[in-house]
Amino acid sequence: MAIARLRFLSSDEEELVHEKSLETLSEIGVLVRSKSVLSLLNDSGADVDKKSQIARIPEAMVSGALKKAPNRFELCARERTNDIGVPTTGMPHLTTDGLTLYMRDLETGEKRNATRNDFSQFARLADALDAVDFFWPIVTISDVPSGSHNLHELWTAFQNCTLHVQGDCTDASDAKGMIELGSIVVGGKEKLMKRPIFSCATNPISPLSFDKGAVEAQVEFARAGVPVLCHSMSMSGMSAPVTLAGTIVNLNAENLASIVISQCASPGAPHIYGSCSMPADFVTGAINMYAPEGMMISAAAGQMARRYGRPCMVANWGMGGKGPGIQVSLSEAFAYALGVFSGSDLISGIGGLDSAKGCSMEQMVLDSIVWDDFRAFLRDFTIDDKTTALDVMREVGHGNSYLSHAHTGRTFRKELHFWNKKNLALEATLSSKMLPEAREIAKKLLKEHEVPKLDREVIRRGEAILRERSKDKGMESCLAH
């Protein structure tokens, strides 16, 4: 199977990254701010300093964890037809941006906080868009207790989306609540372990640090069979060495440490290698999403994931700038888009604005439209005896045309991509029709797309879980939209 992919590291450089990552883990170690997880690592063979909370992980533990972690598993969905197998052998699977802080109003375009009703619309729009393969809760809900927003977002997503949901989590209590919610949707914890309809991103804090809440949540998910994404956000010059090599080693070491933690908690736990690592913007101090070096970092991360046989999410997609539209320059868009060729199985970013701080429904539509054409570059092609078409070459002969041959008529639509002229017009940076048309498409989909409802008893039990867990946050839960 022929697939267009970037390769950044040579074989020797790939080996060096691996060796330096092992050296990082065994000599520098990782900071783990959890007594229970430190104890787990200590019992499994790590050299733990309880006072400094540093765990030094020997090579044997890393090798053992990589052997235990499954190389392939399913990201299941409410509807089985939406299940995703990872790693993919062809087209990567696309999701929305995750956990942004604000949204742009679909009617007024004004920047504001999002409610549960807004969130339900984002989930329904994701369900309706063909480009979106799974749903990462795109915006933080503001009208619920801040400490339980992850639970509300997951529950609202379950009710308004039939895709796999990738959640976020801050502590073990939230993780247990999310596992309860997932279990009642599928019919029990044993069924959730067989059909995990959600996964969770538990980010390390670069450099080389795991916070108490997130790492204890990771252990809960591993034991429940819920896939965990280690989403390293190593920023060159800020939370990782400024060199690309140093950044790559940092993100790789964090991923290896995360795999070890999951496998110590539950051998065979599904785990996804992840990275949203970019250079820092030295003017603002924020992450530089469109840095040209980001593409190389993504490509290197993809190579390391494949070396370890790991499913991965190491690339991003989205053409939004400060506001809805395609506001980035040609060079910035080119740098961002090239990261998609990293070999990433999963790609995030649809609908995001302002370096993942905001989002909009129009941007979800526009990013999906661009993706429809862009994925022409990501198709897999069969190169074998049949497709080399020597029999056709013999029939056509020298100096003649293949246009009228039956083989061309049967095959050209499978082999060639034809640009959608309407989509190309919307992609034009200065197109005045871009936002109004995208807005109308979003409204039409929200009006016409129907998501099958959960069973009433499932909804009742889910709402009871949210009410119980929200009491500790000082506010009762209301019904999710």
* pLDDT for residue 124 is more than 70: yes
Can you spell out the DSSP letters for 244-282? Answer: HHHHHHHHHHHHHHHHHHHHHHSTT--EEEEE--EEB-T
Q: How many CB atoms lie within 10 A of CB 253?
A: 28
- CA–CA separation, 184 and 419 (whole Å): 44
C-alpha neighbours within 13 Å on the C-beta side of residue 352: 26
pLDDT at 13: 96
426 pLDDT band, cuts 50/70/90, is confident
* pLDDT for residue 319 is more than 50: yes
Residues 58-63: contacts with CB under 8 Å, at least 24 apart:
58/25, 58/26, 59/22, 59/26, 61/260, 61/264, 62/22, 62/25, 62/256, 62/259, 62/260
- CA–CA separation, 132 and 109 (whole Å): 23
pLDDT at 419: 82
Average pLDDT over residues 426-437: 74
Average pLDDT over residues 245-260: 97
Report in angstroms the alpha-carbon separations of 41 from 57, 102, 169, 225, 381: 8, 38, 21, 19, 44
429 pLDDT band, cuts 50/70/90, is low
List the single range of 106-115, 173-182, 222-231, 288-297 with lowest mean pLDDT.
Answer: 288-297
pLDDT at 135: 98
Query: 480 is written with which tokens?
Result: 């999710």
pLDDT at 431: 63
Mean pLDDT for the chain?
Answer: 93
**Phi and psi (nearest 5°) for 49?**
-105, 105
User: 198, 180 in Cβ contact below 8 A?
Assistant: no
- Percent of residues, the chain, with pLDDT higher than 70: 97
Average pLDDT over residues 356-371: 93
Residue type, 217: A
pLDDT at 323: 85
Highest mean pLDDT among 92-96, 316-320, 400-404: 92-96
- Percent of residues, the chain, with pLDDT higher than 90: 77
* pLDDT for residue 273 is more than 90: yes
pLDDT tens digit sequence for 132-159: 999 999 999 999 988 899 999 999 999 9
pLDDT at 229: 98
pLDDT at 225: 98
pLDDT at 479: 44
Residues of the chain with CATH 3.20.20.480: 67-378
* pLDDT for residue 382 is more than 70: yes
* pLDDT for residue 478 is more than 60: no
- CA–CA separation, 442 and 125 (whole Å): 7
430 pLDDT band, cuts 50/70/90, is low
pLDDT tens digit sequence for 37-91: 999 999 999 999 999 999 999 999 999 999 999 999 999 999 999 999 999 988 9
**Stronger pLDDT, 300 or 380, i.e. the higher one:** 300
CATH of 67-378, one of 3.20.20.480, 3.40.50.720, 3.60.21.10, 3.40.640.10: 3.20.20.480
List the single range of 81-90, 233-242, 249-258, 314-323 with lowest mean pLDDT.
Answer: 314-323
- Run of H or E residues at 196: none
pLDDT at 164: 98
475 pLDDT band, cuts 50/70/90, is very low
Average pLDDT over residues 422-432: 71
Among residues 78, 75, 255, 221, which one has the least CA distance to residue 150?
Answer: 221
Highest mean pLDDT among 4-8, 380-384, 393-397: 393-397
- CA–CA separation, 81 and 439 (whole Å): 28
pLDDT at 228: 98
Query: 284 is written with which tokens?
Result: 């603002």
* pLDDT for residue 180 is more than 90: yes
Order of all β-strands in the sheet with 111-112 = 111-112, 102-104, 358-360, 352-353
pLDDT at 204: 95
Query: 70 is written with which tokens?
Result: 């499954």
**Phi and psi (nearest 5°) for 96?**
-75, 175
